[in-house]
Each structure stands twice: as structure tokens, then as C-alpha cells.
Amino acid sequence: MVKKYVFGTPFETEAVVEAVEASKNLISFGNVTATKEGFSFEYTMEPTDVVYGLGQANRGINKRGYIYVSNCADDPNHTEEKVSLYGAHNFIVIDGIKCKKGLFFDYPGKLEFDIGYTKRDVLKVSCERADLYVYEIDGESAYDIVKQFRKIIGKSYIPPKFAFGFGQSRWGYRTQEDFEKVVDTYRANEIPMDMLYLDIDYMESYKDFTIDKKRIPDFKAFVEKMKAKNIHLIPIIDAGVKIEDGYEVYEEGKEKGYFCKREDGSDFVAAVWPGWTHFTDVMNPEARDWFGKKYAFLIEQGIDGFWNDMNEPAIFYTEEGVAALNEAIVEYAAQLTGTSDKPLEPCDDIMNTANVLPAKIRSIMGSLQNNPEDYKRFYHNVNGKKVRHDLIHNLYGFNMTRAAGEAFEKIAPDKDILLFSRSSYIGMHRYGGIWTGDNQSWWSHILLNLKMMPSLNMCGFLYIGADLGGFGSNATRELVLRWLALGVFTPLMRNHAALGTREQECYQFEDIEDFKHVIEVRYRLIPYLYSEYMKAATQDDLYFKPLGFVYPEDKIAVQTEDQLMIGNEIMIAPVYTQNAIGRGVYLPEEMKLVKFMPDGSLYEEIMPKGYHFVEVALNEVPLFIRKGKCIPLAKAAQSTAELDWDNLEFVGYDDAEYKHY
Ligand code: MIG
């Protein structure tokens, strides 16, 4: 049962697509305050209540014990204290004995979830304006509640089959030669691969929908050449449109009034990769349609996949920010030369030479990037109404990706196109997937990757994955192998790294055959993973589940957060510590351990319910098959196009049958 409550004048986010009638009553539990001062919902948690949800959020699967703020942020340092990442997914499930409730706070501005942070047993959800919809869902179990929620937000995006292959990416490939070298080395080492990602350097001066001809002279021919090798090129598209006379996208957007505007009606200006840019007003349906159709430039040249970046939208600095800094510097210079009436501000940290600038200047410099003040400086045109950006900040990435998704239907209705985004809001899951942004080559981020997956599924996002091997920092052979062994199971399986970090393509390390083996396991599993993905997408179900969703009565299962259920048949327990020879695994019931051995054979062992130490060498991939079930396996292939989907063998329990999607 889903109920909907209306507070004030909510913004229509279009997160929910199924009609739910507004209820006249109040939320059936907890305390609500909705006044001019703001909105808050408070509920006193029982000691055993578990809180699920929040999609792309930090920390555990059980969100209890910390504070999370929905405020889409371009922050590449996902350390444990961070409260905001790139997405805003305001759905939670309170799973207790007395209380089993789902709550979706449909509010596109900044929203805070204090889940036992300020007071250990108080869950408090609050925002500045009491203008929102709250959906309350009753159900038999957390799992049941999630499925009801998924139903009202509409079907999840389904990517093309090749998107289940492996992809290589790196910020720093620049020329056709660089790109071809990656593909050729993968193929030469017979490591399977389907996708090669093009980061910002393929563009001319970081201008969307352009190609740098000096680096890639004949793009169409390049795309075709790669297609012949069963490689799909996946270019990045950034949110900011470069301001440059003669650049068609800029000229057109300006003329038609499709960019976000300042209060005075002038086009808002922010600096990102291309230098000064405008942001397309993706909240305006006409502008959205226009921007989406620009993707045709690449689709016409054979491109069938995109990743949308910088769409929080990320801002390096604005003219207003620079002006404030300039003013402070001029003032400081005047003080230094004695031409100002104001006395020289004493430096509070004279011992630290890096900090000799006055606090005021340092503070302005520190707040230039992604400054909340800048998000108050521009406006959207929503059906003729002027809406200040910060009030609907969390919808930008969603609607940039929606622009593309909606346009694909028009430009290439017969083509399946891969699409995923960095920033998102619930609702975007109908148009594309997400990658989890700039993680680091840290062991703790393998675990964060694992824990985020089921929460994202609860919020509708099924095509998901993290930068395998880690984006920032230097990776090691061991970390990449262990991370790939988790990536084998994530729908998006992509190795991606930042400019300047150690090269981490699978062929950069010793004993390349170990990498080849791990990726081959992925390809052997594709028919199964794809089938389970399709079931989840078409039935509003979960591809990844926390153990507690399958074994709700088992207290140990409920608190096990470093293992996941996938589809209906398997459980995974990836290794995420350095120098480990294996790991402890909890089996909530008897299961069959299957290890994909480096010689291509399978190690199989039935294990009873309970704790086990399972040895897992670096070149093995383990999974557990639930009692009485089995899964299909294909023969490894170099690409999804070459995969034989019909000749499958089965592994698991004898006499078990697998039902394909
Ligand atoms: O400011 O395009 O998250 O995946 O490689 C960095 C360069 C911009 C951030 C993305 C990352 C990408 C990088 N981008």
C-alpha cells in the first residue's frame, strides 16, 4: 500500500510515474513539522530497527548511525566522514518488528537524513522548505516495500547486451594511437573486452559534440575500425557548453535562450574543463530536447554509448567568485603598499608559509569550487516559471541524462544505446545507469562499492558499477585483481583511472593471464547475469540484495554487509583486504561454493550453513550457489558478440533447473 502526502507546493520532479492519490491524513507514524521554518519528520527507532536505502550514499547497507545529505556533489574524496556524494536518492525503508515502512521524500533541494547521528535512536529527515511529497509504503517486509516503491517510479533502464562486457577507460588517452594501443594490447593478450571509453581529450577544447581532428583525423572510420574488432567506443559528454564564437552548440543555445540564466536574464557563466561555459537548462523541455538531439552528431558516426559527466553540475569557479577574490586581493595589495585606510589583517598562521595570505583570501579561494552560493545565482525556466537552481539542484544530472535518453528514442529508435551518468535523482533510473564516480585505489573502496550496490537497486538504478581498480591514487596488481573479481558481478564492469595515476589496464601487471582469467569468468557468466538483470528490470525487482532481504529471520545474515545476494541463485563474498589468502564467509543456509580456477576448471564444494574460512587465491573467482539451484555458464569469448548464448553448461545442485528470463 502506497500513500502520498502533499506538503506546501511541491516541485514536480517526475520521480514517480504511477498515479498515487494524495491522502488527506497525516503520515501514519512519527512526527511531522511543516511550517515556514521548514520541514522535518522524526521517528524514534527501536533498538533493532534497520534502515535501508539512500542509494548512492556513504557507509553501510544499514544506514543507521550516521548522517547523509542529499545534495549532489562533485567530491572526489569519498572518505568516511563525507555526507554527500553525486546522487540524491531520498528513499529509505525502516525495517523493524513494530515498524515496517518505506518513505520517499520527493524533494529536489538539499535534504538531510540524520539516522541516529545526533541522537542515537532518532531518525530525522529535514529540509529548508516544507514543499514536498512524501510517499509512505506499507508492506510485509523490507523487500516487499522496495518492490512496491520500484513499481511507482517506473521501469529501470535496460542497456544493450554489449554493455555487459568489460570496458577499459582512462583519463589521459588522447590520440587514436593511444586508444588503438589499448584495444590491440587487450586483443593480443586475449583478454576479453567490449568497450573502450573516450574521456574528455577526444573533444576539441573540451567542446561537447566535437572531435579533435588532430588526435582522431577520421572519427567515423575509427569507430568502424573498432566495431570490426567488436569494440564499442563510449565517449564522455560534459554538462558545460563552452562559450566560443562560432561554436554551433553555443551559438544556437544562446540564440534560443536554452542556457540557465542569472536573475537579470543574462546567461549564467561558470568555468569547467572548457573554460567559461554555459549550462543547458535541462529543466526546460524544449532545451532538453535540443541538447539531447545534439548526441546525434556522434550517433551518426556509429557511436552507441555515452557517459554523462560533471552534471551535478560541477563548477570550478564563476565570474562572481573570481570577482570577489579579485576584490580581496586588490584590497590586500593596497594594505601591503599602505594605500588602503584599512590596517593589514594579521595572518593567523604565520608559521605556515603556505598560509601567509589573509584568512579572507584563503577562504574565498577555498570556496571557489562547487560553491553553494553559485547554485543560487542561476535559474531554470520550468514551463515559463523561473526556478532558482539550488531549490532543484539534485535534478540536474537526472535531466541531462533524460535529455539524452528521450532524444535516443527519436534519433535512433531502433538502436540500443548505452547511457550512464555521474549525478542522478530517482527517476533517472528509467533513462540510464550510473557509475559511482571518483573513488580511489583503496581497499576500503572495494567494500564501499559492494555496499552501495543493493542500495542503488532499491532506488531503481540497476545498471551500475564503480571505477574498478580505483580512479584516484596508485593501484596495485593485487588490488586490481580483487576489485575485478567483484566487478565480474556488477552490470557495469569498467576499469577506469585518473590522469597521472599508475597505469592499471589489465596488461600493465605481472602474469597477465590471471587478469585474462578473471575477465573470462565474467564472460562465462554473462548469460546468467544478463538474464537476472532482465528479470530485475522487467519485474521491478532487485539484481543485488542484502542478505537480510532473503533471510530476514536470520540475525547474522541481516548484519552481514560484506556479502551480497545476486539474482535468485547466487551469493558473492569478495575478498577486499590486502595480502588475504581468503576470507570468512557466513552461509545463511547450505550452499555450493564454486571457484573458477585459473586452468578453466571449476572447484565445487557443498558447505553447510554457518561460518567458514574460504581460501581464495588471487587468480580465482568464487561464488556460492543457493541450495537446490543452478546457473548457466557460457564458454569464454573475446567479446559479447562472439559469445555463444545457446551452448550453455550448468553448475550448481544436481537436478536443479534454471529459468531464463
Ligand atoms: O574533473 O573527465 O568522474 O571519471 O575521468 C574531473 C575527467 C572530470 C570526472 C569523472 C572522471 C573523469 C574525469 N572527470
User: Are residues 503 and 540 located together in one domain of the fold?
Assistant: no
The three-point CA angle 591-479-464 to 5° equals 65
**Domain assignment of residue 344, yes or no:** yes
User: Are residues 226 and 280 located together in one domain of the fold?
Assistant: yes
Establish whether residue 199 lines the binding site of ligand 1, counting it when its CB lies within 6 angstroms of any ligand atom: yes
| Closest ligand 1 atom to Cα of 273 | 1
End position of a domain, from candidates 126, 153, 180:
153
Nearest CA, atom 11, ligand 1: 438
Establish whether residue 438 lines the binding site of ligand 1, counting it when its CB lies within 6 angstroms of any ligand atom: yes
Tell me how far apart the terminal alpha carbons of the chain are, to the nearest angstrom.
Answer: 28
Pocket of ligand 1, candidates 171, 207, 420, 473: which has the most ligand atoms within 8 Å of its Cβ, to mutate?
171
User: Are residues 274 and 326 located together in one domain of the fold?
Assistant: no
pLDDT of residue 359: 83
pLDDT, block means (10 residues), the chain with 661 residues: 97 98 93 97 98 98 98 97 98 97 98 98 98 98 98 98 99 98 98 98 98 98 98 99 98 98 98 98 98 98 98 96 92 87 69 70 90 97 97 98 98 98 99 98 98 99 99 98 99 98 98 98 98 98 98 98 98 98 98 98 98 98 98 98 97 97 96
**Domain assignment of residue 47, yes or no:** yes
Establish whether residue 437 lines the binding site of ligand 1, counting it when its CB lies within 6 angstroms of any ligand atom: yes
Q: Tell me how far the alpha carbon of residue 309 lies from the centroid of ligand 1, in angstroms.
A: 7
Q: Tell me how far the alpha carbon of residue 397 lies from the centroid of ligand 1, in angstroms.
A: 14
User: Are residues 272 and 393 located together in one domain of the fold?
Assistant: yes
Whether residue 313 is preceded by a cis peptide bond, meaning omega within 30 degrees of 0, is: yes
Q: Tell me how far the alpha carbon of residue 346 lies from the centroid of ligand 1, in angstroms.
A: 39
User: Are residues 291 and 407 located together in one domain of the fold?
Assistant: yes
- Identify whether the C-beta of residue 407 lies closer than 8 Å to the C-beta of residue 289: yes
- Tell me 312's DSSP state: T
Pocket of ligand 1, candidates 236, 315, 441: which has the most ligand atoms within 8 Å of its Cβ, to mutate?
236
Domain that residue 566 falls in: 530-652
pLDDT in tens, 461-475: 999 999 999 999 999
Nearest CA, atom 5, ligand 1: 171
> In 3D, which of 248, 240, 244, 291 has the Cα closest to residue 270?
240
User: Are residues 271 and 337 located together in one domain of the fold?
Assistant: no
Q: Tell me how far the alpha carbon of residue 492 lies from the centroid of ligand 1, in angstroms.
A: 17
**Domain assignment of residue 660, yes or no:** no
| Closest ligand 1 atom to Cα of 314 | 1
pLDDT of residue 236: 99
User: Are residues 328 and 243 located together in one domain of the fold?
Assistant: no
Establish whether residue 309 lines the binding site of ligand 1, counting it when its CB lies within 6 angstroms of any ligand atom: yes
End position of a domain, from candidates 303, 338, 368:
368
CATH of the domain at 43: 2.60.40.1760
> In 3D, which of 363, 320, 277, 309 has the Cα closest to residue 76?
309
Q: What are phi and psi of 133, to 5 degrees?
A: -105, 140
pLDDT in tens, 16-56: 999 999 998 889 999 999 999 999 999 999 999 999 999 99
**Domain assignment of residue 194, yes or no:** yes
CA 269 – CA 437 distance, rounded (Å): 25
In 256-369, the DSSP E strands lie at: 270-272, 275-279, 305-309, 317-318
> In 3D, which of 310, 291, 270, 100 has the Cα closest to residue 209?
291
User: Are residues 197 and 222 located together in one domain of the fold?
Assistant: yes
User: Are residues 275 and 217 located together in one domain of the fold?
Assistant: yes
**Domain assignment of residue 661, yes or no:** no
User: Are residues 170 and 285 located together in one domain of the fold?
Assistant: yes
pLDDT of residue 579: 98
pLDDT of residue 297: 98
| Closest ligand 1 atom to Cα of 169 | 5
| Closest ligand 1 atom to Cα of 76 | 3
- Identify whether the C-beta of residue 311 lies closer than 8 Å to the C-beta of residue 283: no
pLDDT of residue 462: 99
Pocket of ligand 1, candidates 170, 174, 438: which has the most ligand atoms within 8 Å of its Cβ, to mutate?
438
Residues 6+ apart with CB under 8 A from 305: 160, 163, 195, 232, 233, 234, 417, 418, 419
**Domain assignment of residue 544, yes or no:** yes
Establish whether residue 442 lines the binding site of ligand 1, counting it when its CB lies within 6 angstroms of any ligand atom: no
**Domain assignment of residue 276, yes or no:** yes
End position of a domain, from candidates 153, 183, 199:
153
Nearest CA, atom 13, ligand 1: 171
CATH of the domain at 592: 2.60.40.4040
**Domain assignment of residue 281, yes or no:** yes
User: Are residues 259 and 398 located together in one domain of the fold?
Assistant: yes
pLDDT of residue 341: 84
CATH of the domain at 302: 3.20.20.80
Work out the mean pLDDT of the chain and round it to a whole number. Answer: 97
Our count of domains for the chain comes to 4
pLDDT in tens, 163-184: 999 999 999 999 999 999 999 9
Establish whether residue 422 lines the binding site of ligand 1, counting it when its CB lies within 6 angstroms of any ligand atom: yes
The three-point CA angle 309-315-316 to 5° equals 110
User: Are residues 7 and 88 located together in one domain of the fold?
Assistant: yes
